[in-house]
Amino acid sequence: MTLEDFIEKHKGVRRTVLAVCMLWTSMVICGGLYVMWHRGLETPETAFLTAVIALMQAPVGFYFYERGKR
């Protein structure tokens, strides 16, 4: 398999971006839950955690939007 096949035929870029975003979101959620379990989250930390989760959903939505067009 060549790089061109990975990008064009197997939609490698789209899937790689989706995997990285899902991994990043999972790490942030796990980190927030760990902190919450130990000492509780305060308002600024909760707002940051919510914002990161919300922002990471944009590439996931884009992936499914692009996937539906084909």
Note whether residue 37 is domain-resident. Answer: yes
Note whether residue 52 is domain-resident. Answer: yes
Note whether residue 43 is domain-resident. Answer: yes
pLDDT digits (tens, 9 = 90+) for 9-56: 767 777 888 888 888 878 888 887 888 778 877 888 888 878 877 887
Note whether residue 2 is domain-resident. Answer: no
Q: Is the pTM of this model over 0.85?
A: no
Note whether residue 5 is domain-resident. Answer: no
CB 32 within 8 A of CB 49: yes
Rounded CA-CA distance 18/26 in Å is 12
Rounded CA-CA distance 54/33 in Å is 16
Measured torsion, CA atoms of residues 55, 59, 66, 11, in degrees rounded to the nearest 10: 180
| Overall number of domains in the chain | 1
CB 52 within 8 A of CB 27: no
Is the pLDDT reported for residue 70 higher than 70? no
Note whether residue 30 is domain-resident. Answer: yes
pLDDT at residue 38, rounded to an integer = 84
Rounded CA-CA distance 52/33 in Å is 14
Range of the domain at 28: 18-69
